[in-house]
Amino acid sequence: MKAFLLSRIQSFRHAFRGWFYVMRTQRNVWIHSTIATAVFIVGLWLELSLIEWGIIILTAAFVFAAEFMNTAIEVVVDLASPDEHPLAKIGKDVGAAAVLVAALAAILIGLLILGPPLWLKLTKLLTGN
């Protein structure tokens, strides 16, 4: 049992080391973090339902997971192909496209969930109703 627990702790250490690597080296993660923070603040202001929070959290996690996987792809491609190669470029471009797909989906989900109540709340604030 002790060996099992120690191996789980080690797994978490590896995962956090990867997380910190991405946070240190990838500018886009900071953009995602800033936008996610803004969405969470707006969500609190709008008093989202539990289901809406679940969708927002899963969507943000999806974007971060895509960014993390893209970083892993880039690092492994750089290791395997230190010189420029057309297939290495395609691999990196496809990884970046996955992040783009996730980010575009997140924007649409954000607009669907936050848009109507935000519009209503802002309209009330601006008209004084």
Q: How far apart are CA 15 and CA 65, in angstroms?
A: 12
**CB-CB contact of 36 with 58 (8 Å):** no
Ordered DSSP codes for 12-25: HHHHHHHHHHHHHH
Catalytic, out of 47, 52, 67, 84: 67
Q: Would residue 47 show up in a list of annotated catalytic residues for this protein?
A: no
**CB-CB contact of 87 with 46 (8 Å):** no
SS (H, E, C) 45-77: HHCCCHHHHHHHHHHHHHHHHHHHHHHHHHHHH
Structure tokens, 67: 């960014």
**CB-CB contact of 115 with 83 (8 Å):** no
Residues annotated as catalytic (active site), given as ranges: 67
